[in-house]
Amino acid sequence: MYYMGFFSSSKGKLGIDIGTASIKVVELAKESNRFQLSNYGIYELEPGDEAIMAGSAGRSKITQLSNADIIAGIKTILKSTGMKSRDVVASIPSYPTFSTTITMPYLSEDEIAKAIPFEARKYIPVPLSEVQLDWAIVNVRKGQLKTATLTAQDTAGQPTVEVFLVAVPKVDVKRYQDIAKGADLNLKALELENFALIRSIIGNDLSPVCVMNVGGRSTSILIVENGFQHASHDYEIGGYEITNTIARSLGVSLKRSEEMKRSLGMKKIPENIIRDAIVSLLDSMAFEVNKTIHNYEDIKKVKIEKIVLVGGLANMPDITPYFSEKLGREVALGNPLARVVLPSGLEVLRQELNSTFAVSLGLAMRYI
């Protein structure tokens, strides 16, 4: 395992992104209405450690860091980098949660809050007693409900609201509370990693955008409009599958495979011996992105011109032009540091920090 970071005496807020086999932490402060990166650190398993094991039918089986590993990793980062803050916002991945966007009659926020538990029963596939509900209004529009689901009054012509509803299993909430307590942290909030990602890379852009977040375990495809998530699709292929495929095809170690992925990527050069091995996986990712975009465009009657790529895959050489050609749309690297001032000497790491710390930056931005 390894970590990286730099020493600072600044005190800010922490954003902790707990992934499948890594923990990424940033410490942000705010001066003159601008975010200042005070500190950062990462603690992760090296390729080939027990985060990746051979699975059935040649597919990789991804294991998770235990609570004890996470607590130890957080403490290692905080101690080695000298981070001072203990107030933290932590991410929770989308795969154990339930989320959907529902349409409701236009009501006050108090009335919506009272109605949400009744509406949630229609969409959440487990007893509400087992989950913690949260919601946000993502759009208000003129519309017409065919039936009055919440009132006996005629709702014809009444404005409606689109509400993003999320349910997090209480067992997962308890797990993160235990981790924070074990690491001597003050857990201010748990937030879906997608929300933090949108905050850091979309900002005030209200146009429809597709965000492609390639993690180790899977790829999250988000449709964001007016600054809120309106649709999402999780595709169960991520960076580990690509690393495994290179290793199997070329007969090299996982560590060597990861090095080749980062150095060669999709370069069109004769010595790129990994391109043919991974092209089918990348094409399947592109297919899922296209399908998600087309479904949203057909339903909402809008045009999505831009795709933003984040996650470890964004560090692969020539990956954005490859996806742009396959998707027939502009593909750009996410830039969560656009509103963040970096300490002197870190500009050379901007691209790596952008792709690696997008979620943790968004988390830390929440309360400062």
**pLDDT, tens only, 137-162:** 887 876 544 433 444 344 456 788 88
- Between 254-263 and 239-250, two packed helices, what is the crossing angle to 10 degrees? 110
Q: Name the residue with higher pLDDT: 98 or 271.
A: 271
Place of tokens 């932490």: 25
Among 169, 185, 220, the domain-final residue is: 169
Q: Which domain holds residue 141?
A: 98-169
Assess whether 151 and 64 both reside in one domain.
no
Residues 183 and 309 in one domain: yes
pLDDT higher than 60, residue 62:
no
Clarify whether residues 252 and 200 are in a common domain.
yes
Which of the four pLDDT bands, split at 50, 70 and 90, describes residue 64?
Answer: low
pLDDT, residue 156, reads 53
Q: Are 260 and 362 in the same domain?
A: yes
11 and 56 housed in the same domain: yes
Q: Taking residues 269-277, what's their average pLDDT?
A: 95
Could you tell me if 11 and 73 lie in one domain?
yes
Tokens at 332, concatenated:
């750009």
Total tally of structural domains belonging to the chain? 2
Cα within 13 Å of Cα(275), Cβ side:
13
pLDDT of residue 318: 96
Q: Which residue has the higher pLDDT, 77 or 96?
A: 77
| Alpha-carbon separation of residue 209 from 54, 195, 196, 206 (angstroms) | 36, 14, 15, 9
pLDDT band of 224, cuts 50, 70, 90 = very high
Lowest-pLDDT range of 47-56, 106-115, 338-347: 47-56
Place 34 in a pLDDT band, splitting at 50, 70 and 90.
confident
Query: Which residue, 35, 91, 177, is CA-closest to 359?
Result: 91
Q: Is the domain of 188 the same as that of 114?
A: no
Are 142 and 239 within one domain? no
Claim to verify: residue 129 and residue 184 sit in the same structural domain: no
- Are residues 29 and 102 part of one domain? no
Lowest mean pLDDT among 236-240, 307-311, 358-362: 236-240
Query: What is the model's pLDDT at position 363?
Result: 95
Q: Which of 16-25, 35-44, 110-119, 268-277 has the highest mean pLDDT?
A: 268-277
Question: The domain that contains 259 carries what CATH number?
Answer: 3.30.420.40
Residues 227, 332 within the same domain: yes
Assess whether 195 and 261 both reside in one domain. Answer: yes
pTM score, whole prediction: 0.82
- CATH code: domain of residue 152: 3.30.1490.300
DSSP codes, 191-242: EEHHHHHHHHHTTT--S-EEEEEE-SS-EEEEEEETTEEEEEEEES--HHHH
Q: Are 296 and 228 in contact (CB under 8 A)?
A: no
Q: How far is CA 297 from CA 208, 293, 304, 306, 316, in A?
A: 10, 6, 7, 13, 29
Query: Of 116, 150, 169, which residue constitutes the final position of a domain?
Result: 169
Percentage of the chain beyond pLDDT 70 is 87
State which of 150, 169, 188 marks the end of a domain.
169
